Structure 1
């Protein structure tokens, strides 16, 4: 067996599989929401993720050591991720389509770059700026396919998705200060616990207010809901994350970013084929513009960092 070849191929496979899993997750979310309400979906999703991570920890598959690390510093981050992000994503998926959700969530790298420029004073070069504009045009093209915008559920869904994008971007920036203290698995463990507590508190409170607490878990009697929750919590939130970390450890950032561009493509393909989402040439133009913008923003940013590092070495 050629182990050197496997060390190159396996991370690529892991990255591609991760992108496919995350792309399909929008479809499962949309389907589960037909039988549940958003905070209930998220509460059950994170509960299954916590149970899975706890079992993996007990079996020694993953290592989580939070002693003396001041893990409470991660709690404020949970307001952004999973808090605001999953509120925005789930309500956005409920009020739009899986295809649109995948396309708009793909803007996270672009918005992260813009926010880093404002708050971290990271320089945005000219080519990145052009690519950011291209992505913005892509979003306008997609939104324009809905005709005249009115303050209905669809527009609120678009707004919710943008809240998710901003929340994830803010989380990415704020979490940099904590990344040297905790492993990615430890951060995820805290985030999953936070999500389970936050969303089950909201879900149970909503059920109490409507007098339906006794049937809070009833949707799990439906095989489609149980499968959907397990997919979202176990496969999408846990195993895909572990595979993505494996890919990150063995590939360049530019490579993993390129693979993540598959997420909206899978979401669009699945939404159109499985859920009959509307898709015409304007949507195609929109998603191409977004993908080109995301790819360019990331790649040109990586090139700038490389040039800066090379210049520093020369000095």
Structure 2
């Protein structure tokens, strides 16, 4: 049987830079929009945009969403973890610490995925994959720790909340990968978009913001553009790609590819467009991160060639499910 293009490894890896590009530039989009909106307003609006996109596509039958005969608890769990719980931990954690500290914490998600997979889920990873994740994380640390703006002035509560964000993000990747055994990427992303839109709007209204954020977009085109970029590209396209990649590659490798590629793009875009400091640490850190990301793809091949058990965990699990 002829292999679908969506199953080809080159196609999967080609999607990662697109996801990293959008998510990497999301830092700029968030910076611009938060000048006019509160964090919960922004979350409500960007996920409303994402939810409307998927609802319209489903209503027009451009995409198909079928839950009959499937374990709906899986996608509900995915949606609760991300965006509902994770986004709150991340937003509050960033507010209570510095940007530098939060960047380092979020960059540890691939490491947490590796730790949870090895200790709790007994997943096997090649030494090359482990080295790749450590290298990518080390690159992020160099970029941030040697920057003139780096500081360690955050509070203990902020660190604890960011750790909860990392833990939630790691469990999300595994839950999404598990959901991929029954649901395709569109169904998973549709679910989290709708859940995110409902949840954050309820919280926003409960906090008394009402429609003030939506009204602000009607008079500020720059704000509207930022919200649309975050809603369309980051909350819709990127999550669709990420959920797709999680369904095709081992979880630790998929997370390393996307998360650290995004961090590298974020650092470069910050230096180029936001006036962030640039120096040897930027070049060295980004180079180390990109090297780690590249090693991940090689680690995936090594893992697949070593044994059926240690190979593509997602495809193996799907075969067992059948």
Task: Give the structure-2-normalised TM-score.
Answer: 0.74
CA shift for structure 1 position 252: 11
Q: 1:83-127 deviations in whole A, cap 9, x for unaligned?
A: 233234445666655x98777645433331222112111134444
Deviates more, 1:142-151 or 1:185-194: 142-151
Q: How do 1:299-310 and structure 2 match up within 5 A?
A: 299-309=298-308
Cα deviation for residue 309 of structure 1 reads: 2.1
Aligned pairs for 1:1-315 (under 5 A) are 14-91=15-92, 96-97=98-99, 105-141=106-142, 142-143=144-145, 145=147, 146=149, 148-151=151-154, 156=158, 163-206=164-207, 208=208, 212-213=209-210, 215-221=212-218, 222-242=220-240, 262-296=261-295, 299-309=298-308
What secondary structure, in the 3-state scheme, does the structure 2 residue paired with 1:220 have? helix
237-246 vs 72-81, greater mean Cα deviation: 237-246
Which segment is superposed worse, 57-66 or 284-293? 284-293
How far residue 13 of structure 1 moved from its aligned partner, in angstroms, is 5.7
- Measure how far apart 1:205 and its partner are: 1.9
The answer to whether the 8 A contact 2:75-2:191 is kept is yes
CA deviations on 1:203-224 (whole Å, 9 max, x unpaired) are 2222x2xxx5463433323212
Instruction: Give deviations 1:272-294, integer Å, cap 9, x for gaps.
Output: 22211223323443344444445
> Which range moves more in the overlay, 241-250 or 272-281?
241-250
**Helix, strand or coil for the counterpart of 1:217?**
helix
Given that 1:104 and 1:139 are in contact with CA atoms closer than 8 Å, whether structure 2 keeps it comes out as no
CA distance in 2, matches of 1:165, 1:303: 27
Flag the structure with more relative contact order, 1 or 2, with Cα contacts below 8 A and sequence separation at least 6: 1
TM-score, structure 1 as length reference: 0.76
Q: 1:33–1:93: structure 2 CA closer, same or farther, 3 Å change rule? A: farther
**Contact 2:105 2:163 (8 Å CA) reproduced:** yes
Deviations 1:53-77 (CA, angstroms, capped at 9, x unpaired):
0111122221101234242443233
2:154 is paired with a residue whose SS is coil
Superposition deviation, residue 135 in structure 1: 4.5
Relative to structure 1, is the Cα distance of residues 68 and 310 closer, same or farther in structure 2, using a 3 angstrom cutoff?
closer
CA RMSD, Structure 1 to Structure 2 (Å): 4.0
The answer (yes or no) to whether the contact 1:50–1:193 under 8 Å persists in 2 is yes
Unaligned runs of 5+ in 1: none
Cα 1:57–1:92 change in 2 (3 A) is same
Q: Is the 8 A contact 1:138 1:289 kept in 2?
A: yes
Give the drift of 1:186: 0.9
CA distance in 2, matches of 1:247, 1:125: 19
Note closer, same or farther for the CA distance 1:89–1:289 as it changes in structure 2 (3 Å cut).
farther
